[in-house]
Amino acid sequence: MSASFDSMSAQQWIRLVAIVGAYALLRPYVIKMGAKYQEKQFEKAQQEDTTKISPNQLRGELGIPEDSEDDDEEAETTAADWGKKARKRQRNMIKQLLDAEEKRLQETLDEQEDKDIEEFLVG
């Protein structure tokens, strides 16, 4: 092994130093690129796992449906419709709370405008 190093010319030494130096400089970047590639592959695999049909989807639970006007509250519930009334009540309650908050804000705005007008009338 030492005989091969003894017989190397200056050009071969420079080539060896350049290769070892490039390896030492580029290795961290190559490792980072590999880590990013693995992370992307892992995320892709996770997304594929989540796109598989879950048992709930097989039973008919496809998430919270949008509010539609043709829903009949007195309709007989099935396994697929279980919880639909509760979701509908929750949506209605949230709408009522938002409407009440908007009304309160509008009233405070009106009161503020009334105070401004009163200030000009009195002063």
Domain edges within the chain: 1-50, 83-123
Q: Which two tokens stand for residue 45?
A: 């695999």
Binning pLDDT at 50, 70 and 90, where does residue 30 land? very high
Calpha distance 42→39 (Å, rounded) = 5
Task: Tell me what pLDDT residue 47 has.
Answer: 80
- Of 97, 46, 85, 88, nearest to 67 (Cα)? 88
Burial 4-43 (b: 16+ CB within 10 A, else e): eeeeeeeeeeeeeeeeeeeeeeeeeeeeeeeeeeeeeeee
Binning pLDDT at 50, 70 and 90, where does residue 58 land? low
**Model confidence at 5: pLDDT above 50:** yes
Residue type (1 letter), 96:
Q
Of the chain, the percentage scoring pLDDT greater than 70 comes to 71
